[in-house]
Amino acid sequence: MAAAGDEATAMDSISRAPAAHSAVLNPTASTSSQAEGPEDATSSPAQAPKKPHNSDGGVETAEEAVEPAEPDINELCSDMFEKMAVFLQGELTATCEDYRLLENMNKLTSLKYMEMKDISINISRNLQDLNNKYASLQPYLDQINQIEEQVSTLEQAAYKLDAYSKKLEARFKKLEKR
């Protein structure tokens, strides 16, 4: 039965081999398994299985070569977090500056619109004054129109009178010649 126990240990180490390869390929999995606790550290696939004591020497098991985790991974992580913090701080600063710029632009636009409102109020007031003055001048304008019509009528009468006087003069000269 000792051979069967050795074979079971060998099969167990072979079944752990894919997990060990995935741990080597995925370092976060190996670091998380190291941080889990002491009871998991003994059964961790990243550690090489112990060589079983082979009493009959018939079956040998191979030990798995495991790459050690980089000792400065914590330093690299902290460096990455510091750089990420600087990056995010820069992004937030740029966003804040953009909002300040928008706020200043909105204030200036609001001032411009208030100036335009004042100008339009003044224009409206001046237009109202002009309309009132025009309304007060309307009777005089009506009188001017009537006088103009009378002048044109009088002019027509003067032309008719001039034509009549020329006819009359021509008759008088004709009678004088006789």
pLDDT (average), residues 142-166 = 95
Is the pLDDT at 167 greater than 60? The verdict is yes
Q: Please, how many CA atoms are within 13 Å of residue 169, restricted to the half-sphere of its CB? A: 6
CA distance 166 to 160: 10
Contacts of 58 (CB under 8 A, 6+ apart): 3
Q: pLDDT digit string (tens) for 52-61?
A: 555 555 676 7
Is the pLDDT at 48 greater than 90? The verdict is no
Q: Which amino acid type is present at position 84?
A: M
Return the higher-pLDDT residue of 176 and 1: 176
The pLDDT value recorded for residue 4 is: 55
CA distance 74 to 31: 10
The pLDDT value recorded for residue 40 is: 43
